[in-house]
Amino acid sequence: MAREHIRSWQVGDVKVSRIVEIWDFQDDIHMAMPDATPGEVKALDWLHPHYATPEGRMRMNFQAFVLQTPERTIVIDTCIGAGREREYEVFTDLPEGFLEDLASLGIEREDVDTVFCTHLHFDHVGWNTYKDRETGEYRPTFPNARYLFGKTEYEAWQNDLRHDDHHDDKHMIESVDPIVAAGLVDFIDTDHEIAPGIHAEPSHGHTPGHIHVVIESRGERAVITGDLMHHPMQCAMPHRHATFDMDREKGSATRQAFVDTYRDSGALVIGMHFCEPTAGHFVTASDGETWFRGLGIADR
Ligand SMILES: [Zn+2]
């Protein structure tokens, strides 16, 4: 989208970079939490101004993360994709720019050796493929990569999700099926080691096979949430239901366990949909509540 939105963080030997496709999307909080109100958003002072508007609307990004180690180049989730027709206008016919942003990090698409999808929703698989201008066919964007899809997640999409009333499977046809057909997919277990020091962890609930990413290098630790949470407000009330969790009870339990694990742990938490500052820490505040302290935001 724009070079100025790229941010990088160093975790030991792993450089994590953010590529943003949709910047500062604003919507009602009930799009993340069905029973939350604008009043509750307004009342949490630490959400302002970074993660919420004065009117109590949430702010979020749609983005991907790139991990560079001395040996490997890994893309975590691949946004929505350019020129796609999607259910909502905000996601439809997005401009090119993702590959130019990648190039500005010194990475050509042929250099990527691994693509990892936390789950198979449309905003996490888009740039798995690009549309060939001449033939209109969707082709793998990263021809030299192994694409890692969760086995449980993929099977759920084959069995149920493609044919239920909630999901349109256009993104599967455009961004997942061509990768499978090209033989580029490894169907992985939920605790898969992606590279030395980088592994998946199960976080089912948002989708049946959702997985997130843990990075451990030289005594430092970071975690990329995937969609086990969408907005920083959820770390203050992880037990509350999330709108897009397919299994809301399980999603709440997963989120609670995740926040309990990473609160005051020193681990850098990188929120899949968190807007700037996207990375920070789950911290217990002086009032005993958990909050998300984005990097650069003062303690409280
Ligand atoms: Zn998402």
CA of 299 to the centre of ligand 1 (A): 28
pLDDT class of 3 with cuts at 50, 70, 90: confident
pLDDT tens digits for 170-210? 999 999 999 999 999 999 999 999 999 999 999 999 999 99
The model carries a pTM of 0.97
pLDDT tens digits for 261-283? 999 999 999 999 999 999 999 99
CB 138 within 8 A of CB 176: no
**What distances in angstroms separate CA 159 from CA 93, 152, 164, 178, 191, one per listed residue?**
29, 10, 10, 18, 22
DSSP H or E segment with residue 260: helix 248-262
Give the span between the Cα atoms of 281 and 166, in whole angstroms. Answer: 34
pLDDT tens digits for 103-152? 999 999 999 999 999 999 999 999 999 999 899 999 999 999 999 999 99
- The protein residues having their C-beta less than 5 angstroms from ligand 1 (an ion) are 123, 227
CA of 287 to the centre of ligand 1 (A): 31
Architecture of the domain whose range is 3-294:
4-Layer Sandwich (3.60)
CA of 86 to the centre of ligand 1 (A): 14
What phi and psi values does residue 115 have, to the nearest 5 degrees?
Answer: -120, 130
The pLDDT assigned to 82 comes to: 94
pLDDT tens digits for 24-70? 999 999 999 999 999 999 999 999 999 999 999 999 999 999 999 99
The pLDDT assigned to 161 comes to: 80
Q: In the sheet that 146-150 helps form, which strands lie side by side, from edge to edge?
A: 7-11, 14-27, 58-68, 73-76, 114-116, 146-150, 185-188
CA of 263 to the centre of ligand 1 (A): 23
CB 279 within 8 A of CB 61: no
The chain-wide mean pLDDT, for the chain, equals: 96
pLDDT class of 220 with cuts at 50, 70, 90: very high
Task: Report the pLDDT averaged over residues 2-13.
Answer: 93
pLDDT tens digits for 150-163? 999 999 999 878 87
Domain boundaries, the chain: 3-294
pLDDT tens digits for 69-112? 999 999 999 999 999 999 889 999 999 999 999 999 999 999 99
